[in-house]
């Protein structure tokens, strides 16, 4: 808003409205016992599953290596550089211990490109019409394995049964660990969670205490105004809170599914919840009809607000007195051109609207 002070609530969307009565205590109980049951199943799996002789990096590498060119010098080099590990060494270990092997000619034919498939078929006087799957089938049905090996020289890393078992085991453990982390958040034991996630105190989160404030904000304000009981509100906010401070434990995109699954198990159909007008009209304006996407916007909004709040608190702790809001990248707030400087205690909490791209600068 040009020429006008933004107060902290400016553009703040109102909460969702809830069309269902708060649920009964029994349904809540069932929702709470579900994760416990899940954990018991995982525990039994783990007890009887195969042992893992790979560390987290090796498992991470194993997740990504299937189907990668074996003729390449350094597969997954970007990943190895990012994680500071030696890919060749890991490959050697994975092959030596029977987790991966080189693909056979059938696999190589299947991974080949259409032009190569056609040229091989042509050379052997077979017709070259059809989709890729047809061409692959024709090659495998008519050309000997020996000839195929000669034509299709690119080979790939493929999983053995041992790898499939190991990955299943690793996924069970990741799920288990995920549930432990969610429990820590629900119990408010953020310090233990932080020690788990960032054992090395010199890491980013070890020095910046935005960690606690981010969690705290989400657990206080997540799904506020939805009409849910306090227990349910906090339980589903925990998924969002973990997502806000940890990208590594599981696929990032699953936290919304966890929320939906939890609500479903508590007898609440999230699709029947009525979204507040300001988010609905924002969604309509942008032709967003999908409930998942609308919830995604809501969750991202709260996560961003939590991070902003934590960031402002951190600035306060550092003794910063004034803060500028840079609106340049924000279509909604960009009207005020150069942004505005605020005393730190009067700064608006960003984002200030559903599509806000504003950032704080010092
Ligand atoms: Zn903005």
Domain boundaries, the chain: 25-37+170-317, 56-161
pLDDT at 337: 58
Distance (angstroms) between ligand 1 centre and the Cα of 350 equals: 7
CA of 217 to the centre of ligand 1 (A): 20
Question: Which residue carries 């909604």 as its tokens?
Answer: 332
Give the best-scoring range by mean pLDDT among 148-152, 196-200, 275-279.
Answer: 148-152
Instruction: Choose between 56 and 241: higher pLDDT.
Output: 241
Above pLDDT 90, what percent of the chain?
50
CA of 340 to the centre of ligand 1 (A): 12
Give the pLDDT of residue 353.
86
Question: In terms of pLDDT, which residue wins out, 57 or 49?
Answer: 57
Q: Is the pLDDT of residue 118 over 90?
A: yes
CA of 348 to the centre of ligand 1 (A): 10
> How many A from CA of 291 to the centre of ligand 1?
24
Q: Distance, CA 311 to ligand 1 centroid (Å)? A: 16
CA of 339 to the centre of ligand 1 (A): 10
Residue 221 Cα, ligand 1 centroid: separation in angstroms? 20
What is the band of 285 on the pLDDT scale with cuts at 50, 70, 90?
A: very high
Using CA atoms, how far residue 37 sits from 33, 178, 179, 259, in Å, is 6, 15, 11, 17
Answer for the pair 97, 50: CB distance below 8 angstroms, yes or no.
Answer: no
pLDDT reading at 218 higher than 90: yes
Compute the distance between CA of residue 207 and CA of residue 144 in angstroms, rounded to an integer.
62
Neighbours of ion ligand 1 (CB under 5 A): 330, 333, 356, 358
Residue-level pLDDT at 39: 57
Residue 23 is predicted with a pLDDT of 44
């Amino acid at each position: 808003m040009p020429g006008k002070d933004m107060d902290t609530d400016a553009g703040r969307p109102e909460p969702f409205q809830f069309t269902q009565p708060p649920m009964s205590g029994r349904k809540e109980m069932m929702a709470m016992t579900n994760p416990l049951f899940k954990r018991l199943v995982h525990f039994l799996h783990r007890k009887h599953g195969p042992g893992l002789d790979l560390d987290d990096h090796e498992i991470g590498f194993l997740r990504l290596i299937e189907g990668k060119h074996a003729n390449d010098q350094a597969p997954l080099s970007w990943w190895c550089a990012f994680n500071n590990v030696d890919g060749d060494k890991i490959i050697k270990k994975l092959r030596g211990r029977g987790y991966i092997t080189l693909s056979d000619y059938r696999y190589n034919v299947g991974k080949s490109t259409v032009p190569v498939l056609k040229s091989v078929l042509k050379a052997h006087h077979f017709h070259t019409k059809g989709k890729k799957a047809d061409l692959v089938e024709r090659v495998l049905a008519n050309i000997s394995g020996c000839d195929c090996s000669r034509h299709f020289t690119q080979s790939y890393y493929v999983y053995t049964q041992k790898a499939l078992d190991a990955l299943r085991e690793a996924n069970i453990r990741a799920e288990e660990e995920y549930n432990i982390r969610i429990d820590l958040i629900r119990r408010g034991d953020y310090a233990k969670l932080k020690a788990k996630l960032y054992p090395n105190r010199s890491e980013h989160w070890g020095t910046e205490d935005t960690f606690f404030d981010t969690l705290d904000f989400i657990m206080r304000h997540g799904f506020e105004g939805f009409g849910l009981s306090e227990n349910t509100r906090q339980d589903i906010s925990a998924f969002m809170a973990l997502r806000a401070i940890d990208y590594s434990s599981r696929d990032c995109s699953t936290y919304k599914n966890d929320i939906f699954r939890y609500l479903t198990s508590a007898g609440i159909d999230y699709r029947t919840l009525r979204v507040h007008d300001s988010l609905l009209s924002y969604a309509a304006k942008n032709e967003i009809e999908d409930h998942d996407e609308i919830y995604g916007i809501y969750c991202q909004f709260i996560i961003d607000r939590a991070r902003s709040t934590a960031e402002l608190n951190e600035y306060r702790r550092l003794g910063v007195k004034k803060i500028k809001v840079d609106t340049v990248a924000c279509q909604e707030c960009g009207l005020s051109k150069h942004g505005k400087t605020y005393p730190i205690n009067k700064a608006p909490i960003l984002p200030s609207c559903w599509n806000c791209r504003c950032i704080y600068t010092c």
